[in-house]
Amino acid sequence: MKTDETPRMSFGKALRLRSTKSIDALFSEGSMMQSSPVLLKYNQSVRQDLSPVQFVFAVSKKKHPKASTRNTIKRRMKEACRRNLHLLQLPLAESKMDIAIIYTPTKSLPYTAIEKAIISIFLRLSDLLLKT
């Protein structure tokens, strides 16, 4: 058992978007932003959860036919989001948001390229939210 009180930086179940109604609303009504290898769709939510933001990750089965490569790419995107979630915490303090992160290239990119794109897109989204 840990004695220090450092916050856990895990990507738990509360951060995952699981509701099919919310996912359908996100893809049909959501706004879009793009940074080189990833596409981000976001939508304001009215759910009653404690988490201010929930994510869903998608990789095209047509572009990446092997499940192992799709899972590796999703794992890289989740880790990049987990490590940089603090960029969205302040702008989303009082509002709820659903976010879909979609991987668009046909080749698997290294983690650093994915993280760089997610950081830039999170900064753009937080700037947009702070302006409104």
Q: Is 53 part of a structural domain of the chain?
A: yes
In a domain, 121, yes or no: yes
Listed in sequence order, the residues at least 6 apart from 113 whose beta carbon sits closer than 8 Å to its beta carbon are 36, 37
CATH of the domain at 40: 3.30.230.10
Residue 59, domain member (yes or no): yes
Q: Which residue has the higher pLDDT, 7 or 128?
A: 128
pLDDT higher at 121 or 1: 121
pLDDT tens digits along 9-66 = 677 888 899 999 999 999 999 999 998 899 999 998 877 777 888 999 999 999 999 9
Q: Please check whether residue 55 lies inside any domain of the structure.
A: yes
Residue 124 lies in a domain: yes
pLDDT score, position 7:
56
pLDDT value, residue 8: 60
Domain count of the fold of the chain: 1
Domain membership flag for residue 1: no
Range of the domain at 24: 13-131
Which comes out higher in pLDDT, residue 129 or 9?
129
